[in-house]
Each structure stands twice: as C-alpha cells, then as structure tokens.
Amino acid sequence: MRRIEVGGAQRYAVEVGAGLLSRLQVPQRHVALISPVDLPRQFVAAAQASLSPTVTITVPARDDCKTLTVLGGVLSKLAAANIPRDGAVVGLGGGAATDLAGFAAASYLRGVAFYTLPTTLLGMVDAAVGGKTGVNLPEGKNLVGAFHPPKAVWCDTDTLATLPAAVFREGAAEAYKHGLIADPSLLARVLSPEFRPGGANLEATLADAIAVKAGVVTRDLTEQGERAFLNFGHTLAHALEAVTDHAVTHGDAVGYGMHYAAVLSREMGGTDLTPHTWAFLKWQRPAPLPPLTFEAVLPYMARDKKADAQGVRFVLLHDLARPYLTRVPEPVLREAFRQWQEAVG
C-alpha cells in the first residue's frame, strides 16, 4: 500500500492499494453512503459492511448526477435520515459521484465530514484529491461548487479490474497530464503495457501521479496560483463536454484538450510537445468527435473557471514540467483549433 500526504490547513492522507474497501473505518457514528446506480454491487456491499451506513443514497451514473436537481434530492435524503452535524458523507464511485457527494457534504448543515472512495482511475488521480466539489449547469461544467477537502481518500486498486478498457484509458488522461506539467517520468510509465489493472507498475505510477496533485493542492488549495496548472488541456476539454451535452466523456475530452493545448503552446513559442500528446491520443483511442466549429466551442471556453474580467486564460507549457497561465489572442486560438481539428479529425 502507498500513502500520500496532502497538507495545508486541512491535512489528510490518500491511501492507494488493494482490498481497502473491506478495511474502512471512520470515527463518525452516522454515515451517509452515496454511490452511482451503475457501480458494481459488490463495491457497495463491501463499503456497507465496513461502514454500516445510516442511509445509502443511489444517484444517476456519470455526469447525469451532477445537477442541481440531483443535489437537492440528495440533501433531502440526508435530512430525512437525520444525519447530524457530526455525521459524515462518504462518496463511492467515479469522479462525478464523488464531486456530487463532496458538494452535498459541503452544503448540508453548512458542512459535514466527507470521505472519498474513488473506484475509477479518473476519480483516483483527479477528482478525489484536492477538495474541489460541485455540479454542472447547462451553461458549463463545474460552475457551481465549493472547496471542501475530504478527511481521507481510499483508492482501492481492486475496483479498477472491473472497468472497461476504454474507461481505464479515459482516466489515464489525468495521470498523463501530471507527467506533462510536473513529472515527465510519468509519460512513459502511463503508456507502458504494465500500466493496467493488475499491472506491475500500476500502484506506484498511480501513487506518483496522485502525489503531483497532492503537492499542488497542498501549496494552493483555492486555485490562487499554481493549482490552475492542473487544468492543462481542460479549457477545451470542458467546452467539448458542454457543447456535446456530455456525449464526450471527461477523460476523452482531456485527451483531446491536451493536444489542443500543446498546439497552442507551440504557436505561442514553446517547445513542440505535440508528439507527446499525440502519442497519448494514439494510446487512449478516444471516441470520435462529432462535427464541431470554432464558433460553437468558443463561448464555452470563454466560461472557463480560469477566466477573469479580462477574459479566458489558458494553461500552456514552455516545455515539459514548465507550465504557465496566459491569455491567447483569438486568431491564435482559431488557427490552433484548425490545426488541432485536422489532426484529430
């Protein structure tokens, strides 16, 4: 088992290893377990056996759960179950379910304890660590939420064995991104045949990818500075999700978005890192995109959370592990979009 410490004002640990679901312990007596409807039943049963929850709440699968309507229903069920101020919410499932569960924990009674049990690669590497919680609006991704760090994160690698191969590859986008922005050793390791459920380097690579995010959020929980670098590739990715009404999954969108960010980085004078992002896309094999125009995508990019009063800002790379945040002139965005579309189309 690997253990990664996350520091800052609210310290917690991320544990990575096999069999963790059967060994869970929390100090709270009243626990609400939230999980998506498509989660394998054995994972829910294992968590229930460990935690003896007061109530188990089932929510829609994937991003269908990240709505204000679903959030309202979850909050009502917490109240109906009389979860007290010293109770806890445990999110079990993929990144969407844990995002929702965390926001419910942040909102209910103005904040109760939160624990995360991610069961997907995407959830383990990204959503479960860092305290970002929230839901989507029709106008864009993650526009409503709160910073509410968990008390602990448990990444049971046994759960990854049930993932379809495409879903595992989807989640690898966030691990590869951590290689691009901070730890280039991850690039070859993610593309290695041993980076797979049950693979020899799975646990170590996963722990090192999580450690990148843990270090960033320890230094910058509320995204006042370097935490924005974790959004490399996400400005276009979130736009692709929104403009297709989430027909494009998050991991696939990040794969596509990283390649666009690499093209932009090159156009803005940085080292040409498109061979790395193209190698990942070839490995990931994301679902094909529908026909898109720059005009259709641009309004969604403009609503990105990194935008300020002067407009949208992009995370780009001077070189491997040298990210920066900048504004990009619209003609450059448009030309990069043309080049990107030629490549991925």
CA nearest neighbour of 298 among 342, 257, 256, 337: 337
Compute the distance between CA of residue 281 and CA of residue 274 in angstroms, rounded to an integer: 10
How many CB atoms are closer than 10 A to CB 52?
10
Q: Is 99 annotated as a binding residue?
A: yes
Q: Is 159 annotated as a binding residue?
A: yes
Q: Is 250 annotated as a binding residue?
A: yes
Q: Is 98 annotated as a binding residue?
A: yes
Q: Is 141 annotated as a binding residue?
A: yes
Compute the distance between CA of residue 224 and CA of residue 54 in angstroms, rounded to an integer: 38
With beta carbons less than 8 A apart as the criterion, state whether 237 and 253 touch.
yes
Q: Is 235 annotated as a binding residue?
A: no
Compute the distance between CA of residue 53 and CA of residue 47 in angstroms, rounded to an integer: 9
Q: Is 160 annotated as a binding residue?
A: yes
Q: Is 96 annotated as a binding residue?
A: yes
- Alpha carbon 55 to its chain centroid, in Å, reads 26
With beta carbons less than 8 A apart as the criterion, state whether 105 and 112 touch.
yes
- Alpha carbon 69 to its chain centroid, in Å, reads 21
- Alpha carbon 19 to its chain centroid, in Å, reads 22
Which run of H or E residues covers position 199?
Answer: none
Q: Is 244 annotated as a binding residue?
A: no
Compute the distance between CA of residue 211 and CA of residue 288 in angstroms, rounded to an integer: 31
Compute the distance between CA of residue 169 and CA of residue 121 in angstroms, rounded to an integer: 8
What's the DSSP call for residue 125?
Answer: I
Q: Is 77 annotated as a binding residue?
A: no
Q: Is 246 annotated as a binding residue?
A: no
Q: Is 238 annotated as a binding residue?
A: no
Q: Is 247 annotated as a binding residue?
A: no
Write out the two tokens for 310: 């002067």
What's the DSSP call for residue 5?
Answer: E
Burial class (CB in 10 A: 0-12, 13-18, 19+), 208: buried
Q: Is 58 annotated as a binding residue?
A: no
End-to-end CA distance of the chain: 41
What's the DSSP call for residue 308?
Answer: B
- Please enumerate, by residue number, every residue annotated as part of a binding site: 95-99, 119-120, 132, 141, 159-162, 174, 234, 250
- Please enumerate, by residue number, every residue annotated as part of a binding site for NAD(+): 95-99, 119-120, 132, 141, 159-162
- Please enumerate, by residue number, every residue annotated as part of a binding site for Zn(2+): 174, 234, 250
